[in-house]
Structure 1
Amino acid sequence: MEERLQKFMARCGVASRRNCEKMIEAGKVKVNDTLVTELGKKVDGDIDKIYVNQVLIEVEKKSIYIILNKPEGYLCTLKDERGRKTVLDLVKEIDERIFPIGRLDYDTSGLIIMTNDGDIYNSVIHPRKKIDKVYEATVKGTPTIDEMYDFCTGLDIGGYITADADISVISTDADVSKIKVTIHEGKKRQIRKMCKIISHPVITLRRVSIGDIGLSNLKKGKWRYLDEKEVNYLKNL
């Protein structure tokens, strides 16, 4: 995200914004290979290299770890070319640039972990970790024992055979059922495809936990910082 050069310098602790402006005008600041002497220059601290008196300056990075209860109708991306709402619209209070770990479909709600820690991202997203991802869904009808067996042992969802999973019926009401699903993968629209194959299309779907981290009572559209125990859990995966 671009910002004025003097603001970036102040965030790096060089000096007050006014004194940073004086340093720019005095010819003490370079952006990449270009000397900047006029105010108004905008920079992106994640891309541009800014030097003050020939010394590279950087913002001290603060590691951020949060969970968000994503509502339906939001994209798990940083920007959408069509102008649709993204998860970043729900965490505007956070100044640091954070990103979601993995994705939830546009019409799926629930738990998303967001961070600026690339190591944590790789730990959670890597398929070798086989972290439980637990979902609750409302589906049409009630799955039979045979259908749930097929669901658990692997289904072809279009050229891909799903890994072992778990499914159980929580409750039934008229023509719909509430089910609990646990998977270790994250293929696009995987649970929706799996439920459709066993003839019980998804009506609503939300993710309630990733490993030991759960939504608990976090309301839809709200977020919170992970506590120390949760952060350590992610770091030790």
Structure 2
Amino acid sequence: MAEERLQKILSQAGIASRRASEEIILEGRVKVNGKVVNTLGSKADLSRDHIKVDNKLLHKPQNMVYLALHKPREVVTTMSDPQKRKTVADLIRGAKERVYPIGRLDYHSEGLLLFTNDGEFANRIMSKRTNIVKTYVVKATGALTEKQLEEFRNGVPLFGKKTKPAGIKALNRAENPWYEIQLTEGRQNQIRMMFKHFGFLVEKLKRVKIGFLELASLKSGQMRHLTPEEVRKFKHILKMDEADEND
């Protein structure tokens, strides 16, 4: 087996996404054959080298696992929390393999969240190049004007960088209306910040769809395995038969 970058090995072993694995390496938590490796770009061979993360020996997952969770509000999208808040790890204890979340939903948001131990699957879903559409329903503290809706769709400046084009449509007419929003990017608190740009706050936010996969009847706090057909469909969309070393 050929040598591969450490962050890719960690990701494929179900430790974390490739981006998060880079942070783990930089924090000095990885050892290769007994030596700490904290330089990005370092390579190893999992079939030959002894690789440890937090002093635990790495093994390739026996089975690839793909889960959907309805994350409740006031739950942190991390596997552990120094503030001792409830985390998504508390909701997926039934998973036989070690899995991690693909992306995140903020503490006050709820909805569909995917988990896996398939590093390449996670990396491609989060990649800017795949443009997986994520759909949300949002309750705001006020109604956007037609001009503001158009600006929302075309992109608004956040921290010096304009957001990508987005979809938005009003679901009702009210003092505190609901909107359906579609994004292909996922900056931290992006929807909340976009509404704040127009002088409104987000009261409620729920992710109801990732690509073709809908939250549907999954109840808050409930988890389920993706069906083989759902996994195949995602992999086809993500073109996982193509090499993508630069992702």
The alignment's TM-score, normalised by the length of structure 1, stands at 0.75
Deviation at 1:60, TM superposition (A): 5.7
Query: Could you say which residue in structure 2 is the equivalent of 1:110?
Result: 111
Deviation at 1:141, TM superposition (A): 1.8
Question: Using the alignment, how far apart are the partners of 1:235 and 1:123 within structure 2?
Answer: 9
Deviation at 1:46, TM superposition (A): 8.4
Deviation at 1:227, TM superposition (A): 0.8
Q: Mean alpha-carbon deviation: is it higher for 192-201 or for 124-133? A: 192-201
Give the AA of the match of 1:119. E
Overall identity of the aligned pairs, in %: 34
Deviation at 1:172, TM superposition (A): 2.5
Secondary structure, in 3 states, of the residue corresponding to 2:69?
strand
Report if the CA contact (8 A) 1:74-1:106 is conserved. Answer: yes
> What does 1:31-46 align with in structure 2 at a 5 Å threshold?
none
Question: Using the alignment, how far apart are the partners of 1:227 and 1:48 within structure 2?
Answer: 30
Query: Could you say which residue in structure 1 is the equivalent of 2:244?
Result: none
Report if the CA contact (8 A) 1:151-1:198 is conserved. Answer: no
Query: Could you say which residue in structure 1 is the equivalent of 2:225?
Result: 225
Query: Could you say which residue in structure 2 is the equivalent of 1:211?
Result: 211
Question: Using the alignment, how far apart are the partners of 1:156 and 1:205 within structure 2?
Answer: 21
> What does 1:41-190 align with in structure 2 at a 5 Å threshold?
47-48=56-57, 61-173=62-174, 175-190=175-190
Secondary structure, in 3 states, of the residue corresponding to 2:56?
coil
Deviation at 1:85, TM superposition (A): 1.1
Question: Using the alignment, how far apart are the partners of 1:95 and 1:204 within structure 2?
Answer: 33
Give the AA of the match of 1:133. K
Q: 1:115 to 1:199 in 2, by over 3 A?
A: same
* Equivalent pairs, count: 188
Report if the CA contact (8 A) 2:172-2:179 is conserved. Answer: yes
Give the AA of the match of 1:67. A
Report if the CA contact (8 A) 2:154-2:164 is conserved. Answer: yes
Question: Using the alignment, how far apart are the partners of 2:103 and 2:187 within structure 1?
Answer: 10
Deviation at 1:48, TM superposition (A): 2.2
Give the AA of the match of 2:191. I
Question: Using the alignment, how far apart are the partners of 2:229 and 2:57 within structure 1?
Answer: 36
Structure 1 unaligned runs (5+)? Answer: 1-31, 34-42, 50-57
The alignment's TM-score, normalised by the length of structure 2, stands at 0.72
Query: Could you say which residue in structure 2 is the equivalent of 1:16?
Result: none
Give the AA of the match of 1:191. I
Deviation at 1:100, TM superposition (A): 0.2
Secondary structure, in 3 states, of the residue corresponding to 1:136?
strand
Question: Using the alignment, how far apart are the partners of 1:60 and 1:187 within structure 2?
Answer: 30
Deviation at 1:143, TM superposition (A): 1.4
Deviation at 1:45, TM superposition (A): 11
Question: Using the alignment, how far apart are the partners of 2:195 and 2:142 within structure 1?
Answer: 11
Deviation at 1:59, TM superposition (A): 7.1
Give the AA of the match of 2:105. L
Question: Using the alignment, how far apart are the partners of 1:66 and 1:46 within structure 2?
Answer: 27
Question: Using the alignment, how far apart are the partners of 2:130 and 2:60 within structure 1?
Answer: 32
- Greater Rg by CA: 1
Secondary structure, in 3 states, of the residue corresponding to 1:172?
coil
Report if the CA contact (8 A) 2:67-2:225 is conserved. Answer: yes
What is the RMSD of the two structures over their aligned residues, measured on CA atoms?
A: 2.0
- Provide Cα deviations, 1:145-199, integer angstroms capped at 9, x if missing partner: 10100101111112221000011000133x2101000010000000000011122
Secondary structure, in 3 states, of the residue corresponding to 2:161?
coil
Deviation at 1:200, TM superposition (A): 2.7
Question: Using the alignment, how far apart are the partners of 1:60 and 1:146 within structure 2?
Answer: 51
